[in-house]
């Protein structure tokens, strides 16, 4: 399909490689880019999971230039939106090609942007999920008849994801509204993320109402990254070793910690040693956080000690190392965090300073957002009593619950089919009051399921930290990538530990679908150290002794 009459690039070359070169300056498309482009330009919903720096944005940009109508791109941060808009303007030479919509725009500028979208002069509009909660914005965008709906950082929609954002939960309903309603042909959706293990992919697909999507998964391996874990039994020696290593290691780097207090104290300790360091966490004012990010990107500060709040938008090519003061909440998060090192392709280090007791804090944090049956029932009762859509903030105020508790309860009840989350963020009941008890029971089971999954993901972090096998193999197998060590670029392989173990008999090949009589269906992820890891649909990641699996026939091949 072609851009609308009067639109940008009326005579664009049909050849996608030529278009990539002429407009974006890309010499050659990657195979995964081409696969995703073929799917989305054919009108098929598409999920692209590709490592940072592999050109995810180019997929929607090239597709958008070929489709008959504008492309709506949802991105979580204004800074990310502006960077992409400026990049499109710079490479294409067209200052009208893309625009952002945000609350800081004047009414006149907003009207101009929408007029240009309607005429075809502007092909891309980038905005935050909060903007789509505005009924007027949603109506105005639907009126320009978009051809493609893009969700960047799509893992934010998943409670399994490491950067869950409640505002993303509305995007499925927003897509329906932009399509013209439930009776209209759904607007094709392209979901983009740099890291998503199978459970996260499943939730992205479900919550965006994707229909038989094309799932394009690139390679996650970053061979330039050195992977290492240093184990300690006491907190003091671990802290001293971290500070010593930072002091001795050259170049810019990031230190990830588990709490705001740890971020501040570690940065203070580094400055006391003469290291140019500062801290970053979600408790700081927005202006302070932005100043830290600008300074780090401009090489004005060498070390940033941060919580997970420091992540998106950190596109700094010369980060030479990422150290972890404590384990990440999951391997999804760990891969994303260490992926901020070595983006220029040069050698970089990823070192975890590990104490087994640190996993207890992650378990506590994982359980902090859980809701019990009573809280779920109270939320459901309030929603059904209103009858009409209600703002979750009103529910939180009426029940004296935190916003996060209400969001979690709403998500569970939505899973159970008891209510619906609307594009404007309000909640509407779907179940009749008589069905409330059953809906609450289903929501509670969904919560138990998620909690078990969360526990299993923390167990996989322990596996990575304590394995004597190739760490790269453990990390990549978590994402379903079949990789066999030794890699030669982790501490275990360098020390020969990954070669000390006899080759394990494999009763099932990697990727085989199997069934357990208690945990149900699953997929074999990896083998190592006499054990095998299986990702079960209901029970999450489980590690089983291979000998027991064989002797007791714990797993059966899943019938096709």
Whole-number Å distance between alpha carbons of 544 and 541: 10
For 1, 281, 454, 509, the CA distances from 532, given in Å and listed in that order, are: 48, 38, 19, 11
Tokens coding 361: 């804090």
* Residue the block writes with tokens 């990954």: 498
The pLDDT value recorded for residue 8 is 35
CATH class of segment(s) 225-364? alpha beta
The size of the chain, in residues, is 560
- 43 Cβ contact partners less than 8 Å away, ≥ 6 residues apart: 188
Please report, for residues 163, 446, 513, the alpha-carbon distance to residue 523 in angstroms, rounded to integers and kept in the order given.
25, 21, 5
Whose tokens are 């309000």? That residue is 426
DSSP 13-24: -S-HHHHIIIII
Query: How many angstroms separate the CA atoms of 296 and 310, rounded?
Result: 11
Summarised one tens digit per residue, pLDDT across range 163-212 is: 778 888 889 989 999 998 878 889 999 999 987 788 889 889 999 999 99
Select from 379, 369, 370 the least CA-distant residue to 427. 379
Q: How many CB atoms lie within 10 A of CB 519?
A: 19
Instruction: Decide: pTM greater than 0.85.
Output: no
16-217, what's its fold?
A: Rossmann fold (3.40.50)
What is the C-alpha separation between 319 and 339, in angstroms, rounded?
A: 10
For the chain, the farthest-separated pair of C-alpha atoms sits apart, in whole angstroms, at 73
Start-end ranges of CATH 3.40.50.300 in the chain?
16-217, 225-364
Pick the closest to residue 265 from 307, 319, 232 (CA basis). Answer: 307
Q: Which helix (H) or strand (E) holds 428?
A: strand 427-429
Query: Under a CB-based contact definition with an 8 Å cutoff, are residues 477 and 533 in contact?
Result: yes
Digit-coded pLDDT (tens) for 317-370:
999 999 999 999 889 889 989 989 998 999 999 999 999 999 887 777 666 567
Instruction: Work out the burial of residue 106: count CB atoms within 10 Å of its CB; fewer than 13 is exposed, 13-18 middle, 19 or more buried.
Output: exposed
**Least confident range of 60-69, 89-98, 465-474, 549-558:** 89-98
Task: List alpha helices for 190-328, DSSP H.
Answer: 198-207, 235-248, 260-272, 286-297
- pLDDT at residue 12 in the model: 39
Lowest mean pLDDT, pick from 111-120, 179-188, 381-390, 445-454: 445-454
Q: What is the mean pLDDT of residues 241-258?
A: 97
Which pLDDT belongs to residue 183? 81
* CATH 1.10.10.10 correct for 369-449: yes
Per-residue confidence (pLDDT) for residue 3, from 0 to 100: 36
Distances (CA, A) of 248 to 252, 253, 321, 497: 12, 12, 12, 26
pLDDT for 121-171, tens place per residue? Answer: 899 999 999 888 888 888 889 999 999 999 998 988 887 655 778 888 889
pLDDT surpassing 50 at residue 15: yes
Of the options 3.40.50.2300, 3.30.70.260, 3.40.50.300, 2.30.30.140, the CATH number for the domain spanning 501-560:
2.30.30.140
DSSP state of 529: T
Distance CA 121, CA 288 (A): 37
Selection from 31-40, 57-66, 265-274 with the highest mean pLDDT: 265-274
Q: How confident is the model at residue 499 (pLDDT cuts 50, 70, 90)?
A: low
Neighbours of 557 (CB within 10 A): 11
- Beta-bridged to residue 254, according to DSSP, are 304, 322
List the one residue out of 167, 188, 221 whose CA is nearest residue 404. 167
Name the CA radius of gyration of the chain, rounded.
24
Nearest Cα residue to 144 out of 180, 189, 186, 92: 180
Q: Dihedrals φ, ψ of 231, to 5°? A: -100, 140
Using 50, 70 and 90 to split pLDDT, how confident is the model at 80?
A: confident
Q: How many angstroms separate the CA atoms of 137 and 523, rounded?
A: 43
pLDDT at residue 160 in the model = 62
Domain with CATH 2.30.30.140 in the chain: 501-560
Per-residue confidence (pLDDT) for residue 550, from 0 to 100: 92
């Amino acid at each position: 399909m072609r851009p609308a009459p009067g639109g940008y690039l009326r005579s664009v070359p049909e050849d996608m490689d030529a278009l990539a070169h002429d407009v974006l300056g890309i010499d050659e498309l990657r195979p995964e880019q081409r696969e995703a482009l073929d799917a989305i330009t054919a009108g098929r919903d598409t999920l692209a999971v590709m490592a940072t720096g592999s050109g995810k944005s180019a997929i929607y940009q090239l597709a958008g230039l070929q489709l008959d109508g504008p492309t709506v791109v949802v991105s979580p941060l204004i800074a990310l939106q502006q960077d992409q808009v400026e990049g499109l303007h710079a490479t294409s030479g067209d200052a009208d090609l893309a625009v952002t919509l945000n609350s800081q725009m004047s009414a006149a500028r907003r009207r101009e942007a929408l007029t240009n979208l309607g005429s075809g002069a502007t092909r891309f509009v980038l905005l935050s999920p909060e903007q789509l909660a505005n009924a007027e914005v949603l109506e105005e965008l639907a009126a320009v008849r978009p051809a493609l709906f893009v969700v960047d950082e799509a893992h934010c929609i998943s409670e399994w994801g490491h950067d869950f954002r409640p505002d993303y939960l509305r995007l499925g309903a927003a897509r329906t509204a932009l399509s013209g309603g439930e009776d209209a042909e759904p607007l094709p959706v392209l979901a983009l993320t740099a890291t998503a293990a199978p459970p996260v992919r499943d939730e992205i697909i479900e919550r965006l109402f994707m229909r038989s999507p094309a799932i394009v998964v690139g390679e996650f391996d970053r061979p330039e990254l050195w992977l290492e874990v240093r184990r300690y039994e006491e907190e003091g020696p671990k802290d001293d070793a971290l500070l010593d290593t930072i002091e001795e290691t050259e170049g810019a780097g990031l230190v990830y910690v588990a709490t705001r207090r740890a971020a501040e104290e570690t940065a203070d300790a580094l400055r006391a040693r003469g290291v140019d360091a500062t801290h970053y966490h979600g408790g700081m004012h927005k202006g302070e956080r932005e100043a830290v990010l600008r300074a780090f990107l401009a090489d004005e500060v060498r070390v940033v000690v941060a919580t997970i709040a420091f992540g998106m938008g950190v596109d700094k090519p010369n980060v030479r190392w990422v150290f972890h003061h404590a384990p990440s909440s999951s391997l999804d998060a760990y891969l994303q965090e260490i992926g901020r090192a070595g983006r220029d392709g040069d050698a970089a280090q990823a070192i975890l300073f590990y104490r087994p007791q640190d996993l207890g804090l992650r378990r506590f944090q994982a359980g902090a957002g859980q809701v019990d049956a009573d809280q779920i029932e109270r939320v459901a009762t309030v929603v059904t009593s209103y009858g009409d859509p209600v703002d979750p903030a009103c529910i939180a105020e009426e029940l004296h619950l935190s916003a996060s508790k209400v969001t979690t309860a709403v998500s569970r009840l939505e899973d159970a089919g008891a209510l619906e989350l609307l594009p404007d963020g309000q909640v509407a009941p779907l179940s009749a009051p008589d069905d409330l008890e059953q809906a609450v029971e289903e929501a509670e089971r969904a919560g138990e399921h998620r909690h078990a999954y969360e526990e299993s993901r923390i167990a996989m972090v322990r596996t990575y930290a304590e394995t004597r096998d190739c760490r790269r193999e453990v990390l990549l197998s978590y994402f379903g990538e079949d990789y066999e060590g030794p890699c030669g670029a982790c501490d275990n392989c360098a020390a020969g530990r990954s070669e000390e173990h006899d080759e394990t008999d494999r009763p099932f090949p990697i990727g085989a679908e199997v069934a357990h009589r208690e945990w149900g269906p699953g997929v074999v992820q990896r083998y190592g150290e006499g054990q095998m890891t299986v990702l079960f649909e209901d029970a999450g990641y489980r590690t089983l002794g291979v000998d027991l699996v064989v002797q007791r026939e714990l797993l059966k091949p899943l019938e096709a």
